[in-house]
Each structure stands twice: as structure tokens, then as C-alpha cells.
Amino acid sequence: MTLDISSPGQAEQEIIQLRQQISHHNHRYYVLDEPDIPDGEYDKLYARLKSLELAFPHLITDDSPTQRVGGTPLKAFGQVRHELPMLSLDNAFNDDDQADFNRKIKERLNSTTEIEYSCEPKLDGIAVSLLYEDGRLVRAATRGDGTTGEDITRNIRTIAAVPLRLSGDDWPRRLEVRGEVYMPKSGFEQLNQRAKARGEKLFVNPRNAAAGSLRQLDPRITAQRPLTIYCYSVGIIEGGTLPDRHSEILACLGRWGLRVCPELKVVRGLAACEQYYQTMAEKRESLPYEIDGIVYKVNGIAEQQALGFVSRAPRWAIARKFPAQEAVTTLLNVEFQVGRTGAITPVARLQPVFVGGVTVSNATLHNMDELQRLDIKIGDSVVILRAGDVIPKVSRVVHSMRPDDARDIQFPDHCPACDSELEREEAILRCSGGLFCQAQRKEAIRHFASRKAMDIDGLGEKLVEQLVDRQLVSNVADLFLLTVEQVAGLERMGKKSAENLINALDRSKKTTLPRFIYALGIREVGESTAQALATHYQNLDKLMAASAGDLQRVDDVGPVVASHIEVFFQQEHNREVIAALLAQGVEGTVSAPAAEVGEQPLAGQTWVLTGTLHTMTRDEGKALLQRLGAKVSGSISASSYSSGR
């Protein structure tokens, strides 16, 4: 790259301008999530700055965006004594605890009016202190024991969402900002995927991953981890003043370039606090980060000061915790279930335990490799993880509690449903029985009827069991031959319910090609791949005739998936079922939604939907993006976390 610089003074001036521009764009990208230039343009600015600093190394400063990549490894972390202690919060575990907290606040303030609270999610991350002097980040530390923490300045500098220099000029000369460093769910998943591919130990949860990443002695490793931050309060304030309300202080932090949680809300009174709690509990699983409760703070700073502190916690704040998502119980037995594609899945039978708001007695163990990774035996004490509506799983074994009579888990050598021989595919045992296997037949029908496939309302698990067990249905095409009389004769099914099901089956015939392809249950063909196939081929006949080589020209279809698709359509019994579906009036040749759009302005782009959509459902948003030509991914790619952007 040609620098075309006539003097060090000119270089210094351009470096200052580039740093300001890059900091502005980093703020837009990492804090506001509203980038205003393409990544390519950002990369040009970043490359220009690096070239200038390489040519004029004496102009490099600690707050330059190029210094986020981390330096040489540390031998150990230094200690930082907090000038103001970083206190923990008291907890509320139920409505009574929350009401008691509110009552004491009103009594101590001698207030007859409702208290104003600042509410925000309690992130499951690592509490840190960021010290800014004259607007520049000079030190960062962990909470530690509240009095003394570890100096993690070099690692914090690698986090793109942490400004190395504050925006504006109205900040206090010396300002301590406190926040929570965390790892987004998508970043955590990708980190574990990469670790698994390298044969490394997996992280237990995002908090564990964030803590491990933040405490790396080599900052270059931290720089590669997808960490970010939300700031939630201030500590030291010298040489300036801040507003008299906590929520307004956070607004100032946001204006100065610090990341503040967008779910922050100011409410008045106990009932409004409870409503906020319920709202966030419902949104919890759709948030892109893990939370374990809600933090309520008296919003007025004068009221906070009047309330003061008790022991190691403020009287003016409390953390309302969600029901525990982890619990310890005993593994009573392991049974093996047969899935839609014949995969044999081990299922843990547990001593019932209350976790995540429900009583859990079964949990998935995934596959053979997972059993070996856990080193699990029947009789072990195990930790059960349940997050929202996600199927409970055994996350780890408490090996220190293993009883003397713990028994090894015996893998089956024949299908537990049809006694066919099992085939080994890497970590998966698979039944070779195909449609002969009754268990696979049931799972194929359930999948076909599911909401994202044919969306047949009323065709639930118990009803599918009866239809197959009574030999009324042997494949998905038979569903459309059912009569009201046949269905009404089943257990818990009257004439009205039977009519509703037959009507639902009739309505489901008018579907789209992507849904129809997905409903067929081809191995490794999910929603996005089905959409890509429909967009590429436009009708079922062309897709069924495609070779594996031709299929690999479709986005997201590699050689393995192409082989699965080709083999599926070559199987005579599958072609017979498809022909029967079409004969029953299922409109399997309906064009893909993308074909209805003459122009696809988002073609070639990949979009990720996070959080809550306010004007449509997530599925509707996904479908709209796909009609405009975009690929919709479930998570942000690793490249989003590069040292650039």
C-alpha cells in the first residue's frame, strides 16, 4: 500500500482521523448494531491505519483500534484493590421476597407513593470494572472478592464493544464503569463447535466460556473469543457530575460509547416490577444472551444514598432470580429410542427433579460419544440442565458422588423397536429396518405433520401412535385416506375432533415446495436447505431427477447432503409415497416463495434474526427474508468476531 505521506505531522493527523472514524464505526457495529458502511470499506480504513502505524511506530498508542489483538502472554495477573468495593446483590426467589424488599424500601424512605425502579436483565457473565481517565481506558479488573480483583486490562482491550476512548467530551475526568462481560449464545455454540472439531474439551455454558476467555494469560487467545459487554453502573466519579437518576446515568454511558442493555426499563411500583419479570421470563429464550434473573434498583440516586448498604450489599437493589435451570438427581436407567431416520438415541430415566419450572424425569443423552464424554454410569448423580422449552439434558456427572454399585451402560446390538441389525455411523447407531421399523414410521409421520413442515393441526404424538398401532396408517400418504369414522373411533377422539383433523389434513394439501421438501424427512435436509433446493429447482420433478453432482451446485448442499438427497429419491418406496401424496391432491409442485419475486435484492446475503421481532413472528421474518433472496442463518459466523469486524 502506498502511503503518500509527506511528513510525520501529516501522518499523525491522518492517524487521529482514522482512529476517530474506526471508533465511530466500531460503536455503530458492536454497540448499536447499526453499521453505516460495508465491511469492505471498514477494512480499508483499518488497513490504512495499520500501514501508517507500521511506518510511524512512535505514533502507536494504547487506545488505537489496532491494539485490540492482544500482546505477549502474561506470567500472572496483577492485583487491583477497588477504590469503591464491588458489592454483590441480595436475592429474591419468589413474589414474597420481592414484596418484602419493596415494603422495606417504602418504610425506610417513609414513602406513601410507589417507588420508581430501574429494571434490567441479570446477565450470566463476569462482573468487571473499567476505569477511564480523561476519557481513555487505563485499567480493567475483575470483581474478585469485591475488595480486590485481578488486573485484566490487556484482555479487556481485545473486546471490540469496550471503547478504548470515550465519545463526546462531557464525561467526568475520572470515571469507573461497571459491567458484565458475557459470551452471546451464538458465539458460545461456535466456540464449542471449533473445540469439538479439534478434539478439545468443551465449555459447560456461556458463563464458563466467558470466564475462561477473560482469564487467559495470553491476550491473543482472548482476542479470538466472541466476548462482549453490557454496562450497568458506575463507581468512582471525579472531576465531573452525573444525573440524579440511575437510568439517566446509563443513558450517559450509552452516549459516551459504552454498551447498555436495550431491555432496560423504568417502572413504578411492585406490580410493574412483577410485570417486567414476567415479560422477561417469556422473552428469555429468544434473547441472544443468557440471563438468570432481573435486577431492580431504586432509580433515584438520592434515595439510594438514603437507603445505604448492609453488610456487602446495597439496600436499594435486589436480584430476582428465575427458577433454577440446573439440578442434581440420580440416573436410574438408560433406554434407547428410535428416531425418524433410525438413529438410536439414549434417554436418561431420572429420579424426578424440579428444574427450570417443571418436574423432569427424562433427559436426552444424545449419542454414544456423549455417553463416553460424560463417563456416565447407571446410579450416578448427574446435573440436569433445562433452558425454557429446550429438551432437558444431562450436562455433567458428579463423579465424586458415584456409588460403589454404579453399573456400566450396555449398548444394544439390535433395534429395540423391530430387532433389525444396527449400523454404526461415527457416533450414531442407526436401525437398518427403514419403513419396516414401526418406530421410524411414527417419527416420520410426526415430522411430516409438524408446524414447520405440513402444519397439520391436531395430529399429535398420541394420535400418531394409535394410527400406526392400529395399522390405519403405514406411511404419510395414508393420512389423506383417513375418514371421519376411522378417526372418531380412536381413543379420546369424538366426531367433532375427527372432523377437525380431516379438515386440517385437507387444508395442509395447499403448501409450498420448501415445506413439502422439508416434510419428506430427507436426512440432513432442514428448513434452510429445503428452501435452497426449492429456489434452485422450482419444481419437484427436477429435484427428484437431480444427480448428486448437480445437487452440489445448490447453496448449503455439500457432498454428504447431496448423497442423502439422491439416495432418498432413488428409493422406489419413497417415490411411491410421493406419487401417492400427489394423487391425494397435495400440491407438491407449488413454486417456492422466492420464485414469486421478480427481483431478489438480498440474493447472496446471509441474515441472522436475534431477539424479538415486534411486527411479525420469527418464522414470518425468516420467510420474508428468504423471498427477497437472503439466506437465513441460526447464528453469527465466526468472521463477525475478527479483529476487524
Would you say residue 97 has pLDDT above 70? Answer: yes
pLDDT of residue 637: 40
pLDDT digits (tens, 9 = 90+) for 114-139: 999 999 999 988 999 999 999 999 99
- pLDDT for 357 equals 65
Local confidence band at 417 (pLDDT 50, 70, 90 cut-offs): confident
The CATH fold of domain 8-60: Helix Hairpins (1.10.287)
CATH 1.10.287.610 positions along the chain are 8-60
- Please list the residue range(s) of the chain that carry CATH number 3.30.470.30: 91-321
The pTM assigned to this predicted structure is 0.52
Start and end residues for every CATH 1.10.150.20 domain found in the chain:
434-508
Residue 216 CA to residue 75 CA, distance in Å, equals 10
Q: What is the pLDDT of residues 552-593, one digit of tens each?
A: 999 779 888 998 899 888 878 788 889 999 999 998 654 444
Q: Looking at residues 290-314, what average pLDDT do you find? A: 90
CATH class of segment(s) 91-321: alpha beta
Band (639; pLDDT cuts 50, 70, 90)? very low
Residues of the chain with CATH 2.40.50.140: 326-430
Inform me whether the pLDDT recorded for 271 exceeds 90: yes
Residues 204-237, buried b or exposed e (16+ Cβ, 10 A)?
Answer: ebbbebbbbbbebeebbebbbbbbbbbbbbbbbb
C-alpha–C-alpha distance, residues 212 and 218, integer Å: 11
φ, ψ for residue 32, nearest 5 deg: -85, -15
Q: Do strands 91-92 and 317-321 pair parallel, antiparallel, or not at all (unpaired)? A: parallel
Q: Are 383 and 208 contacting, i.e. CB atoms less than 8 angstroms apart?
A: no
**Among residues 44, 75, 106, 122, which one is catalytic?**
122
Is 618 within 8 Å of 43 (Cβ atoms)? no
Could you tell me the CATH superfamily of domain 434-508?
Answer: 5' to 3' exonuclease, C-terminal subdomain (1.10.150.20)
Q: Is 510 designated active site?
A: no
Is there a contact between 345 and 330 (Cβ–Cβ < 8 Å)? no
Superfamily of domain 326-430: Nucleic acid-binding proteins (2.40.50.140)
